Structure 1
Amino acid sequence: MQHESLITIPNRYAFLCEIEQLLNTNAEQSLLLIDVVRFSDVSASFGYDYGDKVLLEIANRIAFLFDDNAIFGRIGGDVFGLILSGTHQQKQLYNFYSHLVQHFKTPIQCDDHAFIADFNVGAASNPKNNSDINKFFSLAETALKQAKDNKFDNFQHAQILTDYTSGRALAMKADITRALEQDELEIYFQPKIELNTLQIIGAECLLRWNHPLDGLIFPGTLIQAAESYNMMNELGYWILEQAFKNAAYLNSKGLRLKIAVNMSPSQLYDLNFANKIQKLAQKHHVELSQFELELTEDVALSNSILVKKQLSQIRAFGATIAIDDFGKGYSNLAYLRDIEIDSIKIDKSFIMQIDESPVNRAIVEASQLIAKAANCELIAEGIETIQHLHILREIGVVSGQGFLFSKAVPVDDFIELANKDLAVGTSFAREHQTA
């Protein structure tokens, strides 16, 4: 089937629904996620309308190549998906990839220009007897991520992610399972501060792992391992459960604060995510209005109907939505027009040198203007010095967090910190009210 517009290609939501229906009738399916390498260069050089024309030509050629054997969809941006009926081995899926690359050695003609497209491809065969769409799709997403990082070949098969890893990496998977079962994981809290009064007005939940052999492990290693082994959804819901449980504990101590929690992409593609967080709030007798759920720009940029639907439902239930690490790696801000958000957390890399770099200051000032136009709050991360604080006050940034105030601490230490906050914070604010 040839498409006349990118709009007529099944989007991520429709594509996921189609996979789910297939799994209910036949679990033997394979999935290819196809990312067009450096396609943003085309749009940046020739404009987005022209870029869409080239992307449509690429889409139609992919659909034509696999028309008799696959269901085709657009995952978002310049990433497409193919569902291949049957369980295919790594070699077979690599042959599909090779066929794709070979075909696109013939340039794409668009107006007076010619382009040769290249691809990163993540492939996955559905695990035996699996009917969980999230598990299947996450395998392919993990494979695509590995393909993008691979210097020697732009193809990765999901099964390889568990087959070729070292003994220590395999032990890491068992460690994560044990950690979840034996309460080795812990939520720490980093205070969110009102910058003029220096009062604690909220906190961000951050994960820590009290590993029996390696000691305290910070979230990067843990989350990377969870993504590699398709355990991010399970870990994400554990974090949410703990966040709600700790919010109830803080409330009982007279500290009804706004709690920020990071969402994983796999959770947002769980069709029941919004309902699950509502049930968690009911279970722990807390209001969803106490919670701010943070998503990264790449998820917002996916322009997924499912993501928009989930976020809209979450906000309707009373929670607020924040964009985390704003400005880190993405320049297409169109998603701010399409997704209703309540807060923008500007990436700490712009804050930590704001006193030395005029460009960093200009970026923060521009972000403040964007936040005001979007009717949301700008939050500064990575505040480490008094100079940072003064400059952010001058710009008009109202709240933030960073080591100047406190690192992330266990919940009881946070309670102690918050109880001291009224006296200490007010005194500190008076001392540093002006530059």
Structure 2
Amino acid sequence: MPKLHQTLATIPNRYAFINQVDKFAQCHDNFTLMLIDVVRFSDVTTSLGITVGDRFLLQIANRIISFFDDKICFGRVSGDIFGIMFPGKAEQGLMLRRYERMTEHFKTPMHHEQHAFIADFNVGAVAGRQHGFQISNFISRAEAALKQAKENKYENFYMLDGTSYAPSGRRLALKADLRRAMARDELELYFQPKVNLSTLQIVGAECLLRWNHPLDGVVFPGPLIEAAESYHMMNELAYWTLNQAFHSLASMSLSGLTPRLSINISPTQLYDSQLIPHIKMLCERYGFAPAKFELELTEDVALSNSLMVKEQLARLRALGIAIAVDDFGKGYSNLAYIRDLDITALKIDKNFVMGLSDNQVNRAIVQAAKIIGDAKQCEVVAEGIETMEHLHILRELGITTGQGFLFSRAIPLNEFVTLAQQDIIVGSSPLRKRLG
């Protein structure tokens, strides 16, 4: 039987598990990955607290491990999602029987003190083979299968074979269209201004991907990224975004503008050895210092315990690239990792900002982020600023930078240049005039 764990910390996290999956695939001709999502587990942590929740998760992990033989590879993909790699060919019928046996096994409640919990699962699975194996594609397909399992009305299980894709009429059309969009230059970067909250001057912009679809109009990132994941084009799409950001800054500089541009980076890119050489090449081609760009990482990626991620972030910082942790506070922020990471900004999740006037806890979380940012000597940026009340409270709390619909939605390059140019030509912020 595989080794059981005494704490969650000893279970391979997402990045360690992906590394194990890659090695596993090199040792077996055929294999299957199963992703197991604990249904409504957030209700447990909300009701009973994170400590009790972690104890239940540890029980679940060990029960799953003990249910299978020692040939599996096991890891924790995210907070309440586990992964298992099985060797050999596995038809859908076999994986469905494994799923059904596992769910039947978990009908026996787990107990902790006076609390009981019966675990139920959404399960997505994908078959693979060693020939032509690509780790990022394989993981993306497994996550697509899990997403489909969650969307199924009656059966919380879905499996993709070596060639099939998760169904859904319009999304299939979007996936087919994406290849054309990449070839026909239908993709575009929009820019949401980052504003100094004291002067209301534009100090930077976040690059956001949009798709000018010939039938559907402007398509927002959700369906676009889903299509990219399903077609295994996330890395290609991420590099397109990076290249376009440099090209856009070159266009802005012709108009006398040199804002720092923030680019959302995918986890796939952090595992790509070509990322830093590519950025160096772009800096040399366009003549920009790396400090003109900031990479935004989601909290779970930035706080992962992956040695490779930490090394890549350290090399990016040494190059001069700014690093921001996006949606700070949205997940379970590990303050020990925040303490040790060399970052330049914390971006407060918009849900805390938008709830500032309704909930004192939101205010306290923003204050805590400010204290942490000050201690680390990094910038704290507020997202989701929509009202004058939000602006006034953030000023009171000492937050100096923000973005949100109060100032501007994400806008095309030419509109952003016009808005930012007014700041220079008039000598006083157009936002200040509009907001008084």
Q: TM-score range by the shorter chain?
A: 0.7 to 0.9
Amino acid at match of 1:249: S
1:242-391 correspondence runs (5 A): 242-270=244-272, 272-300=274-302, 302-328=304-330, 330-334=331-335, 336-337=338-339, 339-352=341-354, 354=356, 360-391=362-393
- Distance in 1, Cα, partners of 2:378 & 2:345: 5
What's 2:90 paired with? 88
- Distance in 1, Cα, partners of 2:130 & 2:158: 20
1:415 pairs, out of 414, 417, 421, with 417
- Distance in 1, Cα, partners of 2:22 & 2:162: 24
TM-score by length of 1: 0.85
What's 2:3 paired with? 2
Q: Is the 8 A contact 2:160 2:166 kept in 1?
A: no
Quote how far apart the aligned CAs of 1:294 are. Answer: 1.3
1:210 pairs, out of 193, 209, 212, with 212
- Distance in 1, Cα, partners of 2:433 & 2:255: 29
Which piece of structure 1 moves more, 17-26 or 314-323? 17-26
Residue deviations 1:203-233 (CA, integer Å, cap 9, x gap)? 1111121222222223233223333444333
Q: Return 5+ residue gaps in structure 1 as ranges.
A: none
Q: Is the 8 A contact 1:27 1:131 kept in 2?
A: no
Computed over aligned residues only, the root mean square deviation of the Cα atoms, in angstroms, reads: 3.4
Q: Is the 8 A contact 1:162 1:229 kept in 2?
A: no
1:237 aligns with 2:213: no
Quote how far apart the aligned CAs of 1:416 are. Answer: 2.9
- Distance in 2, Cα, partners of 1:135 & 1:373: 39
- Distance in 1, Cα, partners of 2:222 & 2:427: 31
Task: Count residues with an aligned counterpart.
Answer: 433
Q: Is the 8 A contact 1:3 1:56 kept in 2?
A: no
Q: Return 5+ residue gaps in structure 2 as ranges.
A: none
Which piece of structure 1 moves more, 338-347 or 97-106? 338-347
Which piece of structure 1 moves more, 115-124 or 9-18? 9-18
- Distance in 2, Cα, partners of 1:324 & 1:155: 32
What's 1:405 paired with? 407
- Distance in 2, Cα, partners of 1:272 & 1:244: 17
Change (3 A) 1:199 1:52: closer
Residue deviations 1:318-354 (CA, integer Å, cap 9, x gap)? 21222223344x3545453454432222233444464
TM-score by length of 2: 0.85
Change (3 A) 1:172 1:386: same
Q: Matched residue of 1:137: which SS?
A: helix
1:139 aligns with 2:124: no
Q: Matched residue of 1:204: which SS?
A: strand
Calculate percent identity across the aligned residue pairs. 52
Which piece of structure 1 moves more, 170-179 or 268-277? 268-277
1:23-38 correspondence runs (5 A): 23-38=25-40
Quote how far apart the aligned CAs of 1:295 are. Answer: 2.1
Residue deviations 1:115-155 (CA, integer Å, cap 9, x gap)? 43333322111268332111111111222233344453332
